[in-house]
Amino acid sequence: MRLVLLGPPGSGKGTQATRLAQRLAIPQLSTGDMLRAAVAAGTSTGRKAKAAMERGELVPDELVVAIVADRIMQPDARNGFILDGFPRTVAQAQALNDILLTRGLNLDGVIELKVDEKVLLDRILNRAREAKSSGQSVRADDTEGALKVRLEEYRRLTEPLTGYYRASGILKSIDGLQPMNKVEISIFEALNASTRPVTAATAREVRQQPA
């Protein structure tokens, strides 16, 4: 199964992508993680991406598209993947479409986590405070200034993707403000309504877990 997870920063997108990937036994492909690894390793991609990431801006489409084109061809992604944080612009979505089409593949679904923007700032700043107080590293872009830019970038460049995918009939919008387990159940129910039986068994499994 090939899925895209869309959602603003703080919407729980990464958490749900991890859960889905585990349940469906396919890799979670997070472009944010890949770019942070490139920055940490000081690669040429990392050097090109670093400043924009720290400001909370998107990095250029061609940089991310190249990373994803390469990553989805790795053997572990042969049976599917969850794209977490990609595409983030209509141009990226079109590039993904082309990459998949040339290989005779397609997307099975796009899941949008809808979250009231007012709660996002608090959620992320709390996450940063908690990480700091427990001695974990805090993301360079989990500051109030960068977060505002990330939300603006989402609204301006990524939100239009919902129209793009709605037009192709594969968009599922989920209330991301529900408790995490409920969000997971809603995702499986939405997928189950439209995709293959593989999600039916998994949807039952998710519903049976303790709340």
Do 89 and 68 meet the contact criterion of CB atoms below 8 Å apart? no
Q: Does 93 bind ligand AMP (CB under 6 A)?
A: no
Residue 59 Cβ vs ligand AMP, minimum distance, rounded to whole Å: 4
Residue 64 Cβ vs ligand AMP, minimum distance, rounded to whole Å: 4
Most distant pair of Cα atoms in the chain: their distance: 48
Q: Nearer to ligand AMP by C-beta: 147 or 206?
A: 147
Residue 141 Cβ vs ligand AMP, minimum distance, rounded to whole Å: 6
Binding track, positions 41-60, relative to ligand AMP; x by CB under 6 A? -----------xx--xxxx-
Q: Does 141 bind ligand AMP (CB under 6 A)?
A: yes
Annotated catalytic residue, options 123, 139, 166, 182: 139
SS3 139: coil
CA distance linking residue 108 with residue 118, whole number of Å? 31
Annotated catalytic residue, options 48, 71, 114, 127: 127
Residue 204 Cβ vs ligand AMP, minimum distance, rounded to whole Å: 30
Give bridge partners of residue 109 from the DSSP assignment. 3
Q: Concatenated DSSP letters for 196-210?
A: -THHHHHHHHHHHS-
The verdict on whether 182 is a catalytic residue reads: no
Q: Nearer to ligand AMP by C-beta: 80 or 85?
A: 85
State the amino acid at position 104 in one-letter form: G
CA atoms within 13 A on the CB side of 163: 8
As a dihedral over the C-alpha atoms of residue 184, residue 189, residue 191, residue 196, rounded to 10 degrees, the angle is: 120
Residue 209 Cβ vs ligand AMP, minimum distance, rounded to whole Å: 26
Q: Binding to ligand AMP (CB under 6 A): which residues in 98-137? A: none
Residue of minimal Cβ distance to ligand AMP: 32
The verdict on whether 13 is a catalytic residue reads: yes
Binding track, positions 58-77, relative to ligand AMP; x by CB under 6 A? xx----x-------------
CA distance linking residue 58 with residue 150, whole number of Å? 8
CA distance linking residue 179 with residue 165, whole number of Å? 26
Matching residue, tokens 């940490």: 40
Contact residues for ligand AMP (CB under 6 A)? 9, 31-32, 35, 52-53, 56-59, 64, 85-88, 92, 141, 150
